[in-house]
Amino acid sequence: MKPNKLREKYSSKFGFCGNMTMVSYVPKKGKAVVLLSTMHDDTAVDDQSVKRKPEVIQYYNHTKSGVDTMDQMVRTYTCKRRTRRWPMVLWHNVLDVATLNAFTSYTAQHPGYIGGVTNARRLVIKELGKELVMPHMRRRMEGTSHLQTHITEAMERCGLKKVSAATTQPQEGQVKRKRCKICPTAKDRKAISWCSKFTSPVCKEHKHVVVICESCMH
């Protein structure tokens, strides 16, 4: 049943087990198409055609063309990457099929959505990807005080702006504590106060309170 270069082109081999029929068809040299059916129980072949296709394959082509159409549409915009881990192969296929199903279902209910463009599915997939990663990017931006510049710029291109340091620095009394920026690492002195200029944690020894009157404050 497997591909074999010795097999003749347009030849077929059949195998039977109970109510199951397996056929192996050679469309070209060194290739083989294998199908399993419970609806067929003979070795019927179309002798009128040059390709001599088995009846099982003809029935599949007549009734299951939507599967091939889906595979073709998935290949146009796919997230698949080369990998040796078979769970990732399945996961990539799940994402591709789910994305196509979501696009088909939504456009069927909203015919006017993104009309007049030839790459509507590409735009939808791009927007869907941004919506999926946005919570993770927002959590990373809020939970990390110092991000590399190229990471911040990439997040901004996706529409996520970095909040100013004045609003993101923890207030005194909050539970979150970090090591003092000035103290030696060996001391491992924790601090709950943050420098308003450099947004760095500082302990009581290294922090300075600035006294200002109410008149100057306004």
If you average pLDDT over each of 14-23, 76-85, 102-111, 117-126, which comes out highest? 14-23
Q: Quote the mean pLDDT of the chain.
A: 83
Buried-state track 130-140, b at ≥16 Cβ within 10 A, e below 16: eeeeeeebeee
Pairing outcome for strands 190-191 and 20-25: unpaired
The identity of residue 109, as a single letter, is Q
Indicate the pTM of the whole model: 0.51
In sequence order, the 6+-apart residues with CB closer than 8 A to the CB of 35 are: 22, 23, 25, 54, 56, 57, 60
Strands 193-194 and 201-202: antiparallel
CA neighbor of 10 nearest in space, from 24, 40, 21 = 24
**Residue 204 pLDDT exceeds 90:** no
Smallest Cα–Cα separation from 23: which of 47, 8, 51, 42?
Answer: 42
Q: Give helix 55-63 / helix 65-76 axis angle, nearest 10°.
A: 60
Q: Which of 37-46, 64-73, 170-179, 185-194 has the lowest mean pLDDT?
A: 170-179
